[in-house]
Homo-oligomer: A and B are copies of this chain.
Amino acid sequence: MADLNRVVILGGGFGGLSAALRLKRAPVQVTLIDRCNYHLFQPLLYQVATGSLSPANISSPLRTILKGHKNTQVLLAEATGVDVANRRVLLSDGAIEYDTLIVATGSSHQYFGHNEWEQYAPGLKTVEDATDMRRRILLAFETAERETDPEKLRAIMTFVIVGGGPTGVELAGALAEIANDTLRHDFRHIDPSQARIVLVEGGDRVLPAYPPQLSEAARKMIERLGVTVRVNAMVIDVEKDLVTVRNGDATEKFTARTILWAAGVLGSPVGRAVARETGAPIDKAGRISVEPDCSVPGHPEIFVIGDLASFTHQTGQPLPGVAQPAIQEGHYVAKAIVRRLRGEESKPFRYFDKGNLAVIGRGAAVADLNWLQLSGFPAWLMWIFIHLLYIVEFQNRLLIFLQWAWFYLTFDRSARLITGKNPLPLDL
């Protein structure tokens, strides 16, 4: 083993895990490093944040997934940087050498220079983010039940979601269903369906990555659920319980106890370290421009894939920061490494766009398959099948299916737990 090519993969998300899976029988020695002990199926994270699923339903222990890979070890560790000259990854508690490095550490929220907004408007990237968001949403209704001042009550019952991309739309739809259906008979002093849910998008339509007619269909579907949609509304300030947006010359203020952030992403700090060390170009979203083979310019031994990579060789634009490009890049890079060890060249990476799907609510979704656009119930059915198909463990597929079926029949969200060290008093 000792003289095998040592492939170190940073990150066990869609990109890193796909690469690791594809390297199963390759003549290399693989180390997968993640700071979590599980792979997270991020597209369903909003369902944890809104109490439909439990964290374990969308997480699979990395060691379980890779237990049959005799050439692979998993390390629970945090990468803090890369020492490119000595081919070492720096960890918070040590270092590890590589011959080939795959950086797939993904992205986090971006507040566009206003990091102070984060405390008032948390984002959704990790399991902890999701349980915290769930807690905020549920505590808002609990607090409302005990509030008697009508003005305060109005603020407590207002929810603002910043960002009209898939996550924002999915959160808005799920929140509306919680208010209208799930909690319908749960309270004695408030009517949860009186909650005001506002979706704020800076661009001129929701789901800007979709064809305009699907954006329009999505907007109609969320509005039908009772969500107030504001487009062309740039957030210019976030304070405690207050969001200010600007539309042209007009500004509008929303007083809301619960503000959720689904707007921007920023490549992980490891990406910036790699850029610093290698001189690779990095964009405002913290993405590293990669070569046609996903490697870093001048460093064929370092690959960057997934959200952290800006791959522009196909369309002139970076590929979208969703699961499919990450998975395909992971597979491609794994193959390229094996070919390189055999002395063979690889063709440039080519992304095969299978399309986009976003769900709005029960029986409501939009699907853009490039050759076909669907909205409403058929898109929703497709969404369900595809998501179940891609969940890593068979057991989780079954559990999620059952919980969805239950939810579809009853509107009941079983994972409606307020957890956290100090659940009370009701202030956050």
Copies in the complex: 2
Q: Report yes or no: B419 in contact with A55, Cβ–Cβ below 8 A.
A: yes
For A73, list chain B residues within 8 Å (CB): 188-189
The stretch of A5-13, A228-236, A239-247, A409-417 that contacts the partner chain: A409-417
For A92, list chain B residues within 8 Å (CB): 424-425
For A74, list chain B residues within 8 Å (CB): 186
Residue-wise interface mask of A (74-102) relative to B, using a CB-CB cutoff of 8 A (1 in contact, 0 not): 11111000000000000011100000000
Q: Report yes or no: A424 in contact with B35, Cβ–Cβ below 8 A.
A: yes
Alpha-carbon distance between A54 and B415 when the two chains are bound, in angstroms: 9
With an 8 A cutoff between CB atoms, is A341 at the interface?
no
For A289, list chain B residues within 8 Å (CB): none
Q: Report yes or no: B418 in contact with A75, Cβ–Cβ below 8 A.
A: no
Report the nearest B residue to A396, measured CB to CB: B414
With an 8 A cutoff between CB atoms, is A395 at the interface?
yes
Report the nearest B residue to A393, measured CB to CB: B414
Selected from B54, B55, B142, B188, the residue in CB contact (under 8 A) with A76 is: B142
Alpha-carbon distance between A419 and B145 when the two chains are bound, in angstroms: 30
Q: Report yes or no: B78 in contact with A419, Cβ–Cβ below 8 A.
A: no
The stretch of A157-165, A314-322, A355-363, A398-406 that contacts the partner chain: A398-406
Q: Report yes or no: B37 in contact with A416, Cβ–Cβ below 8 A.
A: yes
Q: Report yes or no: B185 in contact with A67, Cβ–Cβ below 8 A.
A: yes
Q: Report yes or no: A78 in contact with B424, Cβ–Cβ below 8 A.
A: yes
For A420, list chain B residues within 8 Å (CB): 128
Alpha-carbon distance between A37 and B145 when the two chains are bound, in angstroms: 13
| Residue in A36, A94, A131, A414 whose Cβ sees the most chain B Cβ within 10 Å | A414
Alpha-carbon distance between A76 and B190 when the two chains are bound, in angstroms: 14
Residue-wise interface mask of A (119-160) relative to B, using a CB-CB cutoff of 8 A (1 in contact, 0 not): 000000001100100000011001001100000000000000
Alpha-carbon distance between A92 and B426 when the two chains are bound, in angstroms: 10
Q: Report yes or no: B55 in contact with A424, Cβ–Cβ below 8 A.
A: no
Selected from B63, B142, B396, B415, the residue in CB contact (under 8 A) with A187 is: B63
Alpha-carbon distance between A423 and B78 when the two chains are bound, in angstroms: 10
Report the nearest B residue to A185, measured CB to CB: B67
With an 8 A cutoff between CB atoms, is A421 at the interface?
yes
For A399, list chain B residues within 8 Å (CB): 399, 402-403, 414
For A396, list chain B residues within 8 Å (CB): 414
Of residues 175 through 223 on chain A, the ones whose CB sits less than 8 Å from some CB of chain B are 183, 185-189
A158 → B minimal CB distance (Å): 20
With an 8 A cutoff between CB atoms, is A56 at the interface?
yes
With an 8 A cutoff between CB atoms, is A251 at the interface?
no
Report the nearest B residue to A410, measured CB to CB: B395
Report the nearest B residue to A60, measured CB to CB: B414
Selected from B54, B67, B412, the residue in CB contact (under 8 A) with A64 is: B412
Alpha-carbon distance between A424 and B138 when the two chains are bound, in angstroms: 28
With an 8 A cutoff between CB atoms, is A38 at the interface?
yes
A413 → B minimal CB distance (Å): 9
With an 8 A cutoff between CB atoms, is A61 at the interface?
yes
Knowing A93-B425, A425-B78, A426-B93 are in contact, say whether A418-B185 is a contact too (CB < 8 A): no
Selected from B68, B131, B186, B423, the residue in CB contact (under 8 A) with A36 is: B423
Q: Report yes or no: A36 in contact with B418, Cβ–Cβ below 8 A.
A: yes
A268 → B minimal CB distance (Å): 14
Of residues 362 through 417 on chain A, the ones whose CB sits less than 8 Å from some CB of chain B are 393, 395-396, 398-399, 402-403, 406, 412, 414-417
With an 8 A cutoff between CB atoms, is A107 at the interface?
no
For A60, list chain B residues within 8 Å (CB): 414
A81 → B minimal CB distance (Å): 15
Report the nearest B residue to A59, measured CB to CB: B417
Which are the 5 A-B pairs with shortest beta-carbon distances?
Answer: A63-B186, A54-B54, A56-B415, A76-B142, A67-B185
User: 6 pairs across A/B with beta carbons < 8 Å?
Assistant: A36-B423, A56-B414, A56-B415, A59-B417, A77-B424, A395-B403
Given A38-B418, A73-B188, A395-B403, 10 extra CB contacts under 8 A: A35-B424, A37-B417, A54-B55, A55-B417, A56-B417, A59-B417, A61-B417, A68-B185, A396-B414, A399-B414
